[in-house]
Amino acid sequence: MDFECLQKFNVGLNEKEHVVYSVAAARLGDREVMEQLIEAYAPLIKALDRTAAATYFCNQFANACLALQYAVSVLGKSIDLSLDNMTVQLFAHEGKYGVAYKLDRWAEQAAPSDAMERRLWLERVLTDFYGKTVKPLYESAAVIGDVDAGQMWGLLPTRFNYMTEQWLLAEESESIRSAISDDYAFLKHEVPASVFGRSKNPLDVKIRWIEDLKDPCKQIRMKNVCCQYYRTEGGYYCYTCPRMKEADREERRIKARQSELVTT
């Protein structure tokens, strides 16, 4: 069934094993309820403060965003990811902790076959989801994390750019490949900024490229915003972090390549 395809995004009907915290998503617009979730999540990821925990939660919620995008582009249908149909679960798995999104019921709508009708359908699906599901959660988490909501929205392009690329590489159908590219372009360029509560569509960003850590012949994407890993126990700036100074990035490349030479 289609919902099984979305389990890789931790979205589905089945209860996760080893759930340690659970809350109805519709309640998370309440600052007190969001605070309780962030307080429960922080020690699980060894966050040093609420900023890290709130950012990590929003980064994990990108899975729900990706699940919808995958459904409309690859499966050709929308799924009900409204707050009233979702329960957020923190769960343990192999010594780590994740965030899952359990749907109370499975509800889907097939995309229209007519191109113009599909465009209107896609606009409605994405506008409802980002305006009524993602926006309340990100804004609530931003308050608890004491950061601007733009930091939360800024996490999405990094995840989307990587995952849509992977879908394109894995997909053989040219029509589905076109849908993946066109639908992502629609999300970035056609959904109004007001839907996200921002002055600019947060997914419409310029990709910055940097030299691969180990291979000087390769280029990789820099993250759009910091994921706050450095604010977790034992954490540090990721190599692709926009906060990292170029001199420090170069030093990390040199060390990584020297290590490669030693091991080979």
pLDDT band at residue 260 under the 50/70/90 scheme: confident
206 DSSP assignment: -
How far apart CA 158 and CA 90 sit, in angstroms, is: 23
Instruction: Record the tokens describing residue 130, joined without a space.
Output: 């980002």
Q: Please name which of 174, 207, 173, 175 lies closest in space to residue 188, comparing C-alpha atoms.
A: 207
**pLDDT value of position 105:** 95
DSSP string for 109-169: EEPPSSHHHHHHHHHHHHHHHIIIIIHHHHHHHHHHHTS-HHHHHTTHHHHHHHHHHHHHH
Q: How far is CA 166 from CA 67, 169, 198, 248, in A?
A: 14, 5, 28, 29
More confident residue, 75 or 1: 75
**All CATH 1.10.510 domain ranges in the chain, comma separated:** 2-204
pLDDT higher than 60, residue 208 = yes
pLDDT higher than 70, residue 262 = no
For 243-259, the pLDDT digits (tens) are 999 999 999 999 998 88
- 1.10.132, 1.10.510, 1.10.760, 3.30.70: CATH of 2-204: 1.10.510
Average pLDDT on 240-244 reads 97
Average pLDDT on 176-198 reads 98
**pLDDT value of position 3:** 67
Average pLDDT on 215-220 reads 94
CA dihedral 219, 250, 205, 118 (to 10 degrees): 30
**pLDDT value of position 5:** 85
How far apart CA 167 and CA 165 sit, in angstroms, is: 5
For 4-45, the pLDDT digits (tens) are 889 999 999 988 999 999 999 999 999 999 999 999 999 999
pLDDT band at residue 264 under the 50/70/90 scheme: low
- C-beta pairs of 245-253 under 8 Å, 24+ apart in sequence: 249/210, 252/213, 253/211, 253/213, 253/214
pLDDT higher than 80, residue 261 = no
Please answer whether residues 183 and 122 qualify as being in contact, where contact means their C-beta atoms are separated by less than 8 angstroms. Answer: yes
For 77-120, the pLDDT digits (tens) are 999 999 999 999 999 999 899 999 999 999 999 999 999 999 99
For 112-158, the pLDDT digits (tens) are 999 999 999 999 999 999 999 999 999 999 999 999 999 999 999 99
